[in-house]
Amino acid sequence: MKRARRSVRRVGAAVGRRTAETRSLSGIEVKAILSGAVFVALVGLKLLLPDTMAGVRGAVGRWLVRDADFVSAFSAVGRAVSGEARALEDAYVAVFGEEEREAREVTGEAEVELPDAPDYPEHATAERREPGFAYAPPLQGVVTSAFGWRTHPGTGAEAFHYGVDIAADEGADIAAFADGTVGVVGESVELGRYLTVHHADGYLTLYAHCSRVTASSGSEVKRGDKLAEVGQTGNATGPHLHFEVRHGEDWLDPQHYL
Amino acid sequence: MKYGTGRTGSIRSTIFERGIHVGAGFWLLLAAALTVSPAAVTLAVLLAAAAHEGGHLLALRRFGVPVESVRLGAMGAVIRAPGANRLSYGRELWVTLAGPAVNLLCAPTLAAISSRRGWDWGLLFAGAHAVLGVYNLLPIAPLDGARALYLMVACVFGPTAGERASRGVSLTAALALTALGACLALRRGAVLFLFAALGLLLPQIRLAETERSV
C-alpha cells in the first residue's frame, strides 16, 4: 500500500502534470471531480440520513464481510498486542462471526444431537450444568423469548435462538453474571452494542442490544458489577437484553441460571 | 556523507513546499471505507497510515533525501523521492522498514497504555497500527515487505537476483492469499478478503506482462 518509490520517470511525470493543468478538463480532472462528488454525496447522506446509511452499511458490510465488526476486531488485535493471547480469537469472531453457529443456522434442521432435546442444533444443549462459581441474573425482567427454535420477530424466518430475551426499560442497569474479564466490547448490525465476559472454567456470557456499554474490554469485573444499560440497538424490536451463556463450545439455556 | 546534498530544511518545508497530492482514487477509497466501516475505524487506520508514512519520511530525511511529493491514491500513499535510488541497499532498507517499524512500535505502546487506563479507543488505534504494520510487511510488491526482501537479496546476490526473488515470492504469496480469500468467500460468504487479495495479485500479473514484453 505504501512505499518509498524510486522515480525513474521523474521528468516525464512533471511534464505530464503540467499538461494536465493546462488542459481545461482532462481525463484526470474529470475523474477527480467525479470521485470527489461521490465522496461528498456519501458523507452528506451519512450526515442527513444516518439510519438509511447505517442500513446501507449493514447491507454492504454483510455482503462484503458478513456482519464483520471492525471496531471490535481492531480493538481485539490491540488487546492481543498488549499480551492477551485470547483476544486474537475475539478478533477472528468479530470479523468472521462464529463459524459453527452460522453453519448450523443454515443446516440447523439436518443436524440433530441425540442426547439433548432432539431438535436442538449441535452445541446447543438443554442440559443443566452447574458452574463452580457464584452467579446472579444480569437483569430482573420478563423473559419475552426463550432459548430454542423460534420465528424471528424481524425476518419471520425460523431460526434457533441461542439466548434469552429479557425485557426491561431502556437504560436499566445490566449486571455481570459472575466474576470475570470483559472480552469483546463491540457493535454489530445484528447484536447492536454488545459485550462478552469470560468467566472461570470456560464459561462465557454475552449481553446484546445495549444502549450503552460502560465496562471496557480487558477489565476485571465482579458479579453484579454494572456492565451496560438496556437498549434496542441492532436488530431489536424493543428495549431488551439478549443474554447468552456459553460453556466451551456449547450454548446453555440461560433460563437455568436466572 | 556520500549522499549529502545539503538538505537542511525541516520536514515541513521538505514535504509541504512540494505538496501533498490527493488523487481521485483516495477519495473513493475513503468513501468506500466510510461506507463499510464505522468512522472510528477509518480514522484509526488513517492515523496509523500517517504514522507509517511519517516513519518513511523521517528515515528519508535522516539520510538527506529530498522528498518531492506525497501522493495519496487508491492504493494508499506513495512518496516520491527521486534521490532515494542513490541510497545504499542498507540505507534504503532502513527507509523501507522505518514505516512498519513505527506501526509495530506504536501498537504495543498504545495497547499497554490503553489497557492500563481502560481506553477502548486506544486499543482500537493500537489494533490498527498492528494490522497495518503486519500487512505492509507482507512480501508482496508494492508492499514494504517485498521491497525489503529485494534489498536484502540484492545486497548479497546482486540486483538481478533481488528482482527475481522479489517477483517470485510476491507472486507466490499473492496467489496463496487469493486462495485463502476464495476459501473464506466460499465458506463464510465474505468477499472483501478475496477483493483485497485480488488487488494484490493484479500488480504481479502486470509486472510479469511488462517483463515478457521487454
Contact (CB<8Å) B36/A57: yes
**pLDDT of the residue at A21:** 39
Question: Which three three-digit cell numbers place residue A136?
Answer: 446472579
Does one domain contain both A45 and A136? no
Global pTM? 0.56
Longest distance between any two alpha carbons in chain A, whole Å = 78
How many Å lie between the alpha carbon of A144 and the closest alpha carbon of chain B? 31
Question: Which three three-digit cell numbers place residue B118?
Answer: 481502560
Does one domain contain both A148 and A216? yes
Between the alpha carbon of residue A63 and those of residues A67, A90, A105, B86, the distances in Å are 8, 21, 17, 47
**pLDDT of the residue at B154:** 92
**pLDDT of the residue at B9:** 39
pLDDT of B139 > 80? The answer is yes
> Mean pLDDT over residues A198-213, rounded?
91
ipTM of the complex: 0.71
**A residues 14-53 near B, CB within 8 Å?**
28, 31-32, 34-36, 38-39, 42-43, 46, 53
For residue A71, list chain B residues with Cβ-Cβ distance below 8 A: 38, 40-41, 124
For residue B199, list chain A residues with Cβ-Cβ distance below 8 A: none
Does one domain contain both A131 and A247? yes
**pLDDT of the residue at A70:** 74
**A residues 183-202 near B, CB within 8 Å?**
185, 187
pLDDT of B101 > 90? The answer is yes
Q: What does the angle CA B65 – CA B66 – CA B72 come to, to the nearest 5 degrees?
A: 110
How many Å lie between the alpha carbon of A173 and the closest alpha carbon of chain B? 20
Strand B76-80: give its sheet, edge to edge: A3-5, B76-80, B69-73, B20-22
Comparing A149 with B51, the larger pLDDT belongs to B51
Does one domain contain both A128 and A232? yes
Rg (CA), chain B: 18
Contact (CB<8Å) B130/A217: no
Residues composing chain A: 258
A152 domain residue, yes or no: yes
DSSP tag of A67:
B
Of A175, A183, A220, give the one whose Cα is nearest residue A204: A183
Contact (CB<8Å) B126/A82: yes
> What is the per-residue pLDDT across A28-37, written as a single tens digit (0 to 9) for each?
555 566 666 6
Residue A83 Ramachandran class (φ > 0 left, ψ -120 to 50 alpha, else beta) = left
A70 domain residue, yes or no: no
> Mean pLDDT over residues B16-30, rounded?
70
Of A224, A218, A167, A173, give the one whose Cα is nearest residue A197: A218
Question: What whole-number distance in Å separates Cα of residue B3 and Cα of residue B14?
Answer: 16
> What is the per-residue pLDDT across A158-200, written as a single tens digit (0 to 9) for each?
778 889 999 999 999 999 999 999 888 888 777 888 899 999 9
Interface test with A, best of B3, B26, B27, B210 (most A CBs within 10 A): B27
Band of residue A11 on the pLDDT scale cut at 50, 70, 90: very low
Does one domain contain both A131 and A45? no
Report the relative pairing of strands A240-247 and A164-167 from DSSP bridges. Answer: antiparallel
Comparing A205 with A37, the larger pLDDT belongs to A205
Does one domain contain both A243 and A133? yes
Residue of B nearest to A17 (CA): B21
Which residue bears the cell 445484528? A190
**pLDDT of the residue at B54:** 92
Contact (CB<8Å) A5/B78: yes
Question: What whole-number distance in Å separates Cα of residue A59 and Cα of residue B30?
Answer: 18
Does one domain contain both A174 and A61? no
CATH number of the domain bearing residue A173: 2.70.70.10
Of A31-35, B28-32, B59-63, the range with the highest mean pLDDT is: B59-63
Expressed as residue numbers, the domain containing A210 is: 124-257
> What is the per-residue pLDDT across A221-241, written as a single tens digit (0 to 9) for each?
999 999 999 999 888 888 999
> Mean pLDDT over residues B34-51, rounded?
83
A109 domain residue, yes or no: no
Does one domain contain both A150 and A236? yes
> What is the per-residue pLDDT across A47-93, written as a single tens digit (0 to 9) for each?
666 666 666 665 655 555 544 567 777 888 888 877 776 677 777 77
Band of residue A102 on the pLDDT scale cut at 50, 70, 90: very low
How many Å lie between the alpha carbon of A224 and the closest alpha carbon of chain B? 19
Under 8 Å CB pairs connecting chains A and B tally to: 185
Does one domain contain both A171 and A240? yes
Comparing B102 with A156, the larger pLDDT belongs to B102
A107 domain residue, yes or no: no
A218 domain residue, yes or no: yes
The number of domains in chain A is: 2
**pLDDT of the residue at B189:** 64
For residue B53, list chain A residues with Cβ-Cβ distance below 8 A: 2
Residues composing chain B: 214
Asked if A141 contacts A241 with a C-beta cutoff of 8 angstroms, the reply is yes
- SS3 for chain B is CCCCCCCCCCHHHHHHCCCEEECHHHHHHHHHHHHHCCHHHHHHHHHHHHHHHHHHHHHHHHCCCCCCEEEEECCEEEEECHHHHHCCHHHHHHHHHHHHHHHHHHHHHHHHHHHHHCCHHHHHHHHHHHHHHHHHCCCCCCCHHHHHHHHHHHHHHCHHHHHHHHHHHHHHHHHHHHHHHHHHHHHHCCCHHHHHHHHHHHHHHHHHHHHHHC
